[in-house]
Amino acid sequence: MISLRCLLRAYGKCTALLSLPSQQPLNRIMSTSCRPMVAVCQVTATPDKKTNFSACKQLVEEAKERGASMVFLPEAFDYIGSSREETLSLSESLAGDTMSRYTQLARKLEVWLSLGGFHERGPNWESDRRIYNSHVIINDKGDIVSVYRKSHLFDVELPEKGVSLKESAFTIPGPTLVSPVKTPIGKVGLGICYDLRFPELSQALQRDGAHILTYPSAFTVATGAAHWEVLLRARAIETQCYVLAAAQVGRHHEKRASYGHALAVDPWGEVLGDCGGEKPGLVLVEIDLEKISSTRRNMPVQEHRRDTGFYYSLDST
């Protein structure tokens, strides 16, 4: 079931909702809002793909019942393997069974899905056994409308923090960014996890018209505690976009655990919803495109930005 704590925190930002009688069913309350609603989820994926799909399906169904028009699932929503060999063996193509299940789910529920990090077999899979980390957007008709392949790979050794991951050992870096996707909630710019640490990516998406940036993630406990919220808020503040970050949480197997705290942040940098760091759940948040416009109008940062050459002028001195 959805964490009530997550839901209440999201609703606390909507005074119009709070004025309704408390005895009304939650789905009836959600239907009174004229702004689009999104659900930002967190899950605890394991190597068991069937169990993972069942858990994600339940969250998507709950989100739809409560009025969400788009649901965001985290990086590695399909599975988190316990070894390089297991990770590769469980991977699939976009035409495989896992993606087929999600396209059918989106079509059945008439809801958009952001699938934040799919283990997609690469173009030379038969010869090199390498994969992409792919962010897939599915529309409410069950069509795949965009695929972004993670461009910054997490190769980090922090012995003092107990962090040791080398994503490039089996993952191909994506060749390019993709344009923001037009959705019922606005134009959504796609990143994945470690991409969050590179503001150039978020600024490029903002320049290309993004209203919302999304960073589905599986942050380690150590790096999450230190940097997760501050990075997400920074990306929101500097781009004046909503930032939505679905997350993995808890222990996936004996070798790996994730920080959790799936977040939704508004264009001013205020946290609208936080799923906490203990268990799966979701937050429901309204997307107010007028808030983006007013924030950018009142503090016109983009108008004050100098040309690209100015910021690289030190390189030639």
User: Tell me, what's the pLDDT at 16?
Assistant: 29
* Mean pLDDT, residues 263-291 taken together: 97
User: Could you tell me if 136 and 176 are in contact, meaning their C-beta atoms sit under 8 angstroms apart?
Assistant: no
**Each residue's pLDDT tens digit, 152-174:** 998 877 777 776 677 888 899 99
User: Tell me, what's the pLDDT at 19?
Assistant: 27
Q: Kindly report the CA angle at 69 between 66 and 70, in degrees rounded to 5?
A: 110
User: Tell me, what's the pLDDT at 168?
Assistant: 86
User: Could you tell me if 136 and 189 are in contact, meaning their C-beta atoms sit under 8 angstroms apart?
Assistant: no
> Which has more pLDDT, 72 or 15?
72
Query: Residue 33 — very low, low, confident or very high, per pLDDT cuts 50/70/90?
Result: low
User: Tell me, what's the pLDDT at 95?
Assistant: 97
Q: Which residues are catalytic?
A: 75, 150, 193
pLDDT over 80 at 141, yes or no: yes
User: Tell me, what's the pLDDT at 316?
Assistant: 74
Of the chain, the percentage scoring pLDDT greater than 90 comes to 80
User: Tell me, what's the pLDDT at 157?
Assistant: 75
pTM: 0.88
User: Could you tell me if 181 and 147 are in contact, meaning their C-beta atoms sit under 8 angstroms apart?
Assistant: no
Contacts of 40 (CB under 8 A, 6+ apart): 72, 244, 245, 246, 262, 263, 264, 273, 275, 282, 283, 285
CA distance 177 to 219: 21
User: Tell me, what's the pLDDT at 10?
Assistant: 39
Q: What is the mean pLDDT of the chain?
A: 89
Beta strand 212-214 with 186-190 is parallel
Candidates 281, 307, 254; CA nearest to 43 is 281
Count of beta carbons in the 10 Å neighbourhood of residue 68? 26
Query: Residue 317 — very low, low, confident or very high, per pLDDT cuts 50/70/90?
Result: low
pLDDT over 50 at 291, yes or no: yes
Task: Give the CATH superfamily of 4-304.
Answer: Carbon-nitrogen hydrolase (3.60.110.10)
User: Tell me, what's the pLDDT at 252?
Assistant: 96
CA 53 to chain centre: 17
Q: Which two tokens stand for residue 94?
A: 């976009």
* Mean pLDDT, residues 125-136 taken together: 96
* Domain range annotation of the chain: 4-304
**Each residue's pLDDT tens digit, 80-110:** 999 999 999 999 999 999 999 999 999 999 9
Candidates 236, 242, 243; CA nearest to 217 is 243
Query: Residue 257 — very low, low, confident or very high, per pLDDT cuts 50/70/90?
Result: very high
Among the listed ranges 7-21, 176-190, 247-261, 295-309, which one has the minimum average pLDDT value? 7-21
The CA distances from residue 69 to 30, 59, 154, 299, in Å, are 11, 13, 31, 30
Query: Residue 45 — very low, low, confident or very high, per pLDDT cuts 50/70/90?
Result: very high
User: Tell me, what's the pLDDT at 256?
Assistant: 92
Look-up of token digits 């003092």 = 160
The CA distances from residue 167 to 171, 216, 290, in Å, are 6, 16, 39
* Mean pLDDT, residues 274-292 taken together: 97
* Mean pLDDT, residues 98-127 taken together: 97
User: Tell me, what's the pLDDT at 308?
Assistant: 85
